[in-house]
Structure 1
Amino acid sequence: MKTIILGFLLLGFAGMVLTSPYWLFRELVRPNDEQLPTWMGDARARKKRLLIIMGILALIGGGAAIFAGLSAQ
């Protein structure tokens, strides 16, 4: 039962990250303190990719946790 609840929490987090423009806007407009080489790409693009990757991993983890919880019952 705990894994099912964890799965739904992860799916909720993924939905929030992938669909909320507020989180994305806040990440994109935050000032960039680090000076990185130009070959590493734009800081805004890296932040956007990071948020998308976090959302996809949360979707996968949430689905796996729900599947594990349902198969254990």
Structure 2
Amino acid sequence: MGHTNPNKTPASAGAPGMLTNAQTAARLGVSVKYLNNMRYSGRGPAFIRLSRRCVVYDAGVVNAWIEANTVRTAA
């Protein structure tokens, strides 16, 4: 059995509300490599590990993470 590429779309990523690694990176406006670094260091949004090399993100969790990390200034 071969290794899976975490940047490819897993079959379960078609589930409603699930985002692939690449889709999440695009939503955050960062590269896939940067998103991977965020995940490894524990700085990014929570993720779902489908296998050792395959993760997906819940769109609601990603949106909540964006909101929680939005800095609002008094202009």
User: Normalising TM by the smaller chain, what interval?
Assistant: under 0.3
TM-score scaled by length of structure 2: 0.24
TM-score scaled by length of structure 1: 0.24
User: Which of the two has greater strand per residue?
Assistant: 2
By relative contact order (CA 8 Å, sep 6+), the higher-ranking structure is 1
